[in-house]
Structure 1
């Protein structure tokens, strides 16, 4: 027994060493997988587009060419003129996602928006989640109605859309398929100003904080704002910050790859809420 004791002990030690190395490797792999998953989540949250010019060619987002997309929902309204005046002062451009009834009431504002070189998109008709998301046909009908109204007022046809309250959680895959099949380009945002909920100029700092966070990852900001008095009143403060930090404003167009929220497991029919 003593004759085989030492070799057996050596073999046991070798086996234990192999097991230990394998265990350490599994820990490292597990850590990598967690980090990789987190990285993939961040990538998925990034805008899938890069800034494009009118010919559809990419423009690198460098320090001297930093692009930001200003977007305004729920207009037009008389306040839109104040927004347009401020944009003109700063030689800035924006994209306006417009509601059909508001376009009918304020056709001159719609015309001015187009004439001054801003982009126009569609925001539907009712802005009522229970009506818009009632069915795929209801959503499509609202966008087509708004599209026809814009065409009648300006002669411009757009396929840019933003659905009420954004595409999550009510815009399920079947809705997305129908809208995409009909040529519409869905746009959400990655900077939420919360201007509808914050007091006066608080939304400006909210936007700046998010822009600075996105800048760490080289992500192009797409800012959600609303056509309302408080937003218009403090817009110059935001535009002054953007100018000071080397940002140029761009308009969203149909040559760009659209950016929208991914459903993952978050989307569901509105009647299941």
Structure 2
């Protein structure tokens, strides 16, 4: 598999991000046609956005089977260099009405976070591949590990100038840290205190190693359906959601880095 050599690095990074973002708040940006908070004002609806990172893979088909069986749509943030040999999976995601976002081309932290231009180039390369396969561009992006510690005001402006919109999360399963986490643990994490977050933006993963996430997914969907949640996809009209931008010395350093 293409990413086996990178799994230990990715796991270490995910562990840091996971513990940093547990119960963390996100900013619902009011800069587009549709703000996520507006969902709260419509008939007291409870909204959930299922999101899956790190695809496409052969296992992604199984995720799609489960979503289809439950008549639920989701959003997939795809890694560009995994699209090759998985074009049919990407076509299926698109044809079955799910939303597609960008999760960089390589998912290699040193490369993508080298500077702002490198990050944007990674997103553009993935966008070109998705357009080639589906005929449609995507400007929805998710930072590997989340935008925390990578986003600042000048870089946010630069991303907006390139038509990109950021989507972090407010609930996550630990499958990004440990793909072998027991399914019951993943269910518990994915359904923890959803009333604190409306809408819920749930982070899970759908790479080849996430078999236990597949097992957990039907129970997660069942839980949110029983709680009266409406499942939605992130689209170009969905308002951004990202972790708060910090103003400190580290942020000042990022300001200088991502101006280049």
Common fold by TM > 0.5: yes
Alignment of 1:211-250 (within 5 A): 211-214=194-197, 219-227=198-206, 228-250=210-232
Mapped partners of 1:138, 1:210: distance in 2: 37
- The count of aligned residue pairs is 221
SS at match of 1:105: coil
Aligned twin of 1:207: 190
User: Is residue 87–residue 133 contact of structure 2 (8 Å, CA) maintained in 1?
Assistant: yes
The higher relative CO (CA closer than 8 Å, separation ≥ 6) is in: 2
User: Which stretches in structure 2 are left out of the alignment for 5+ residues?
Assistant: 1-22
Shift of the alpha carbon at 1:203?
Answer: 1.5
User: Is residue 160–residue 187 contact of structure 1 (8 Å, CA) maintained in 2?
Assistant: yes
Shift of the alpha carbon at 1:71?
Answer: 0.4
Residue in structure 2 matching 1:261, options 243, 248, 251: 243
Shift of the alpha carbon at 1:68?
Answer: 0.3
Aligned twin of 1:178: 158
Mapped partners of 1:144, 1:89: distance in 2: 33
Mapped partners of 1:269, 1:138: distance in 2: 14
State the Cα deviation string for residues 47-100 of structure 1 (Å, max 9, x = none): 346xx88xx9x554545x321000000001011111101111111110000000
Aligned twin of 2:17: none
User: Is residue 77–residue 106 contact of structure 1 (8 Å, CA) maintained in 2?
Assistant: yes
Shift of the alpha carbon at 1:152?
Answer: 0.3
Mapped partners of 1:203, 1:47: distance in 2: 26
Shift of the alpha carbon at 1:142?
Answer: 0.4
Q: How large is the RMSD of aligned CA atoms in angstroms? A: 2.6
User: Is residue 81–residue 109 contact of structure 1 (8 Å, CA) maintained in 2?
Assistant: yes
Aligned twin of 1:197: 177
Mapped partners of 1:61, 1:193: distance in 2: 28
Shift of the alpha carbon at 1:179?
Answer: 1.3
Shift of the alpha carbon at 1:146?
Answer: 0.4
Mapped partners of 1:118, 1:253: distance in 2: 10
Mapped partners of 1:75, 1:102: distance in 2: 7
- 1:83 maps onto 2:66 in alignment: no
TM-score normalised by L of structure 2 = 0.77
Mapped partners of 1:190, 1:83: distance in 2: 21
Q: Which range moves more in the overlay, 205-214 or 109-118?
A: 205-214
User: Which stretches in structure 1 are left out of the alignment for 5+ residues?
Assistant: 1-41
Tell me which structure has the larger Cα radius of gyration.
Answer: 1
Mapped partners of 2:82, 2:156: distance in 1: 25
Higher fraction of helix: 1
TM-score normalised by L of structure 1 = 0.74
SS at match of 2:222: helix
Alpha carbons of 1:191 and 1:62: their partners in 2 closer, same or farther (altered >3 Å)?
A: farther
Alpha carbons of 1:178 and 1:246: their partners in 2 closer, same or farther (altered >3 Å)?
A: same
Aligned twin of 1:29: none
State the Cα deviation string for residues 87-117 of structure 1 (Å, max 9, x = none): 1111111000000011123000000000000
SS at match of 1:117: coil
Residue in structure 2 matching 1:47, options 28, 31, 52: 28
